[in-house]
Copies of this chain bind each other. A is one copy, B any other.
Amino acid sequence: MAEETLSTIYRDYIACLNRQDWPNLSAFVDDDVHHNGRAIGLSGYREMLEKDFDAIPDLYFEIQLLIADLQGVASRLGFHCTPQGSFLGLPVNGRKVRFTENVFYTFKNGKIVQVWSIIDKLAIEAQL
Protein backbone atom coordinates (compact mmCIF):
# COMPACT_ATOMS: atom_id res chain seq x y z
CA MET A 1 0.00 0.00 0.00
CA ALA A 2 1.71 3.18 -1.16
CA GLU A 3 1.85 6.26 1.05
CA GLU A 4 0.12 8.36 -1.58
CA THR A 5 -2.67 5.85 -1.62
CA LEU A 6 -3.26 6.15 2.14
CA SER A 7 -3.35 9.96 1.83
CA THR A 8 -5.83 9.67 -1.04
CA ILE A 9 -7.98 7.13 0.81
CA TYR A 10 -7.92 9.38 3.87
CA ARG A 11 -9.01 12.49 1.94
CA ASP A 12 -11.86 10.47 0.41
CA TYR A 13 -12.80 9.27 3.92
CA ILE A 14 -13.00 12.87 5.20
CA ALA A 15 -15.13 13.83 2.18
CA CYS A 16 -17.41 10.88 3.04
CA LEU A 17 -17.81 12.20 6.62
CA ASN A 18 -18.54 15.74 5.43
CA ARG A 19 -21.27 14.35 3.12
CA GLN A 20 -22.57 12.26 6.04
CA ASP A 21 -22.52 9.45 3.51
CA TRP A 22 -22.91 6.63 6.06
CA PRO A 23 -23.69 3.84 3.57
CA ASN A 24 -20.17 4.38 2.13
CA LEU A 25 -18.38 4.42 5.49
CA SER A 26 -17.56 0.71 5.16
CA ALA A 27 -15.36 1.53 2.16
CA PHE A 28 -12.97 3.31 4.56
CA VAL A 29 -13.46 1.79 8.01
CA ASP A 30 -12.71 -1.81 8.97
CA ASP A 31 -15.38 -3.96 10.65
CA ASP A 32 -13.08 -4.39 13.66
CA VAL A 33 -12.13 -0.74 14.11
CA HIS A 34 -10.85 0.46 17.49
CA HIS A 35 -11.23 4.06 18.69
CA ASN A 36 -8.90 5.25 21.47
CA GLY A 37 -8.32 1.64 22.48
CA ARG A 38 -12.00 0.63 22.53
CA ALA A 39 -13.28 -2.00 20.08
CA ILE A 40 -16.37 -0.22 18.75
CA GLY A 41 -16.63 -1.85 15.32
CA LEU A 42 -17.99 -0.29 12.17
CA SER A 43 -21.54 0.10 13.55
CA GLY A 44 -20.26 1.76 16.73
CA TYR A 45 -18.06 4.03 14.65
CA ARG A 46 -21.00 5.10 12.47
CA GLU A 47 -23.11 5.66 15.59
CA MET A 48 -20.37 7.85 17.12
CA LEU A 49 -20.22 10.00 13.97
CA GLU A 50 -24.00 10.28 13.69
CA LYS A 51 -24.15 11.42 17.33
CA ASP A 52 -21.39 13.97 16.60
CA PHE A 53 -23.47 15.47 13.75
CA ASP A 54 -26.61 15.43 15.94
CA ALA A 55 -24.77 17.34 18.68
CA ILE A 56 -22.99 19.66 16.20
CA PRO A 57 -25.26 20.26 13.18
CA ASP A 58 -22.66 22.42 11.35
CA LEU A 59 -19.81 19.95 11.93
CA TYR A 60 -17.24 20.04 9.12
CA PHE A 61 -13.86 18.29 9.04
CA GLU A 62 -11.02 20.40 7.59
CA ILE A 63 -7.62 18.77 7.10
CA GLN A 64 -4.99 21.33 8.18
CA LEU A 65 -1.94 19.06 8.13
CA LEU A 66 -1.52 15.49 6.92
CA ILE A 67 1.45 13.16 7.36
CA ALA A 68 1.29 9.67 5.90
CA ASP A 69 3.63 6.71 5.67
CA LEU A 70 3.20 3.10 4.61
CA GLN A 71 1.28 2.09 7.76
CA GLY A 72 -0.84 5.04 8.66
CA VAL A 73 -1.98 8.62 8.51
CA ALA A 74 -1.69 11.43 11.04
CA SER A 75 -4.02 14.35 10.54
CA ARG A 76 -4.52 17.69 12.22
CA LEU A 77 -8.18 18.55 11.77
CA GLY A 78 -9.61 22.03 12.20
CA PHE A 79 -13.17 22.75 13.32
CA HIS A 80 -15.22 25.96 13.46
CA CYS A 81 -18.62 24.85 14.59
CA THR A 82 -21.48 25.17 17.04
CA PRO A 83 -21.94 22.33 19.57
CA GLN A 84 -25.55 22.61 20.79
CA GLY A 85 -25.19 21.41 24.37
CA SER A 86 -22.29 20.26 26.52
CA PHE A 87 -19.17 19.24 24.60
CA LEU A 88 -16.25 17.35 26.20
CA GLY A 89 -17.89 18.23 29.52
CA LEU A 90 -17.88 21.96 28.71
CA PRO A 91 -21.04 24.12 28.60
CA VAL A 92 -20.64 25.26 24.98
CA ASN A 93 -24.45 25.52 24.49
CA GLY A 94 -24.64 26.84 20.95
CA ARG A 95 -21.58 29.07 20.97
CA LYS A 96 -19.45 28.92 17.80
CA VAL A 97 -15.98 27.67 18.70
CA ARG A 98 -12.70 26.94 16.93
CA PHE A 99 -10.65 23.93 17.92
CA THR A 100 -8.38 21.25 16.52
CA GLU A 101 -8.01 17.48 16.77
CA ASN A 102 -4.70 15.66 16.32
CA VAL A 103 -5.54 12.14 15.23
CA PHE A 104 -3.64 9.03 14.14
CA TYR A 105 -5.04 6.24 11.99
CA THR A 106 -3.54 2.86 11.24
CA PHE A 107 -4.82 0.89 8.27
CA LYS A 108 -5.41 -2.77 7.39
CA ASN A 109 -5.99 -3.64 3.73
CA GLY A 110 -6.62 0.02 2.96
CA LYS A 111 -9.20 0.52 5.74
CA ILE A 112 -8.95 2.36 9.05
CA VAL A 113 -8.52 -0.15 11.88
CA GLN A 114 -7.15 1.97 14.77
CA VAL A 115 -7.84 5.59 15.66
CA TRP A 116 -6.02 7.56 18.37
CA SER A 117 -7.67 10.96 18.71
CA ILE A 118 -7.09 13.93 21.01
CA ILE A 119 -9.29 17.03 20.81
CA ASP A 120 -7.92 20.34 22.09
CA LYS A 121 -10.21 20.86 25.09
CA LEU A 122 -8.00 23.66 26.50
CA ALA A 123 -8.62 25.72 23.33
CA ILE A 124 -12.39 25.43 23.77
CA GLU A 125 -12.19 26.32 27.48
CA ALA A 126 -10.32 29.49 26.54
CA GLN A 127 -13.25 30.56 24.33
CA LEU A 128 -15.98 30.15 26.99
Contact = CB atoms under 8 A, between A and B. Distances in A.
Given A67-B73, A74-B102, A102-B116, 10 more contacts: A65-B104, A65-B116, A74-B74, A88-B122, A89-B125, A100-B116, A118-B119, A118-B120, A119-B122, A121-B122
A69 B4 CA distance: 10
Copy count, this protein chain: 2
Contacts of A118: 100-102, 118-120
A29 B53 CA distance: 40
A72 interface: yes
A67 B67 contact: yes
A76 interface: yes
Chain A interface mostly: strand
Interface of A: 3, 65, 67-69, 71-74, 76, 88-89, 100-104, 106, 116-122, 125
24 contacts: A3-B69, A65-B72, A65-B116, A67-B68, A67-B69, A67-B71, A67-B72, A67-B74, A68-B69, A69-B69, A74-B74, A74-B102, A76-B116, A88-B122, A89-B122, A89-B125, A100-B116, A100-B118, A102-B102, A102-B103, A102-B104, A102-B116, A118-B120, A121-B122
